[in-house]
Amino acid sequence: MDIEVICTGDEVLTGKIINSNFSYITQKLEDFGLSVKRGVTVGDDREELLRAFQLAGDRADVVIVNGGLGPTVDDLSQEIAAQAAGVELELNEDWLHRMREYFSARGRTMPENNSKQAMLPKGAEMVDNPIGTACGFGVSIGKAVFYFTPGVPRELHRMLEHELIPRMLKKSGIQEVIVLKRFHSYGLGESHVDQLLSGLVEMVPDGSLKLGFRAHYPQLETKLTIRAASMDEARAKLAPVEDELRSRLGNFILAEDDETLEGVLRELLLKDQASLAVVEDFTGGQIAGRLAPLPDAGEFLLRGTVAPSPRSKMDIFAVDGENTLGDWEFGIGLGELLAQRSREGAGATYGLAALCQLSEGDGRIAGNMNSNIVVAIASREGIVHRRSRLAGNRDWIRLGTVELALDCLRRHLQGLPIQEKTDFERPPPR
């Protein structure tokens, strides 16, 4: 099945907004075994839109058009769809009614120009959008079925997942259920995981299992997609594969499906009625900043401290005006002391210190630096630490340090070793 995606709108064409709808659409379809052949982007321009629709109608089987369903004069999708299909626009009374209800539920009267959104090409199939005023629709142009979708991301997401993917699977002859299972890890590169999982796909001999990756540094998402005749069969086929994957990636798996690292930490802490104090320097609040926005953060995050300089560390952790941190040499000792002092000062169950000292890179790549990282976790039972080095630009090192610190805490709370080497690290300094 030849699938094409057409994104419309001057904002997308001129780069005022980055086209994340396109990557969302193609990725989501890929998860269901539907591969997009090509993408096209055109502005709010009658001639270009018409040509793009005609061309796609000549060469594709299914075309997803995104954007241009709004109430303003530069929203042209319905008009040009009708022109390309060789039909008139006609008012869809059902949708007009739905829009009036939508506005009145929000205590407002529908502005007159919104009625434009209920004008669909004659003979078009309405595609539901229960969370917005842009009506989706399907219409034939040339040899292809075109589906028109709203530009607002959450409306697009809902329509694609609930309405369009089932229709496309049906059209493609894929009758089966498809289940997607995701694992999030930190510390292993994509090619390393690919290698660790060799032979995994062959565990399902009928070829219905697919393995995929999505790297967004510092995390990696590993995706399993399985097809089956029923949900029960899908789950039965997937279960042993999931177990095998968990055993191969082991402690590196930090969350599954919609879970996040910070969400996992929140649950671990709340479950034990435990609390945390964080102290950080180069990461400047970004470690605490991952936890503080979570619901009930006040219950488990007692304190965050940002102490960029040696001087500020000394001042903050002074006792009766005295320096309590010894000779100030950067290293494990300082990290452990800060974790401990921070824990004591806040009366928290755990103290987490993440220190990072930058140094010049080897000069091979402009802007690249080296780093010396110490993560320490203090609790009533004692203190553990983790030393690491990352090389890269400042952002790369900062992101890596934040993730390393949070993941060390996750491992510690789950009773796992925090010393396992990651693929991103350089050998520790002597």
Q: Which of residues 220-249 bind its own copies (CB under 8 A)?
A: none
Of 320-349, which residues contact its own copies (CB under 8 A)? 346-347
Smallest distance, Å, CB 257 to its own copies?
19
- 37 touches its own copies by CB under 8 A: yes
Q: Are 370 and 297 in contact (CB under 8 A)?
A: no
Smallest distance, Å, CB 394 to its own copies?
6
Cβ-based nearer residue to its own copies, 36 or 139: 36
How is residue 200 annotated by DSSP? Answer: S
Of 269-308, which residues contact its own copies (CB under 8 A)? 278, 280-293, 297-299, 301-308
| Cβ atoms within 10 Å of 224's Cβ, excluding its own | 21
C-alpha 154/C-alpha 144 separation (Å) is 26
The C-alpha R_g of the chain, in whole angstroms, comes to 27
Residue among 314, 306, 303, 386 nearest 350 (CA): 303
Cβ-based nearer residue to its own copies, 122 or 394: 394
**Site map (CB under 8 A) of its own copies, residues 106-125, x = contact:** xx------------------
Task: Compute CA 406 distance to the chain's CA centroid, rounded to the nearest angstrom.
Answer: 18
Cβ-based nearer residue to its own copies, 214 or 421: 214
Cβ-based nearer residue to its own copies, 39 or 333: 39
- 80 touches its own copies by CB under 8 A: no
C-alpha 94/C-alpha 112 separation (Å) is 16
Q: Are 371 and 359 in contact (CB under 8 A)?
A: yes
Smallest distance, Å, CB 45 to its own copies?
8
- 35 touches its own copies by CB under 8 A: yes
Cβ-based nearer residue to its own copies, 92 or 222: 222
Residue 295 preceded by cis peptide, ω within 30:
no
Of 172-231, which residues contact its own copies (CB under 8 A)? 213-215
Cβ-based nearer residue to its own copies, 130 or 326: 130
The correct pick among 247, 322, 364, 415 for binding its own copies (CB under 8 A) is 364
Q: Are 22 and 80 in contact (CB under 8 A)?
A: no
Residues 6+ apart with CB under 8 A from 333: 326
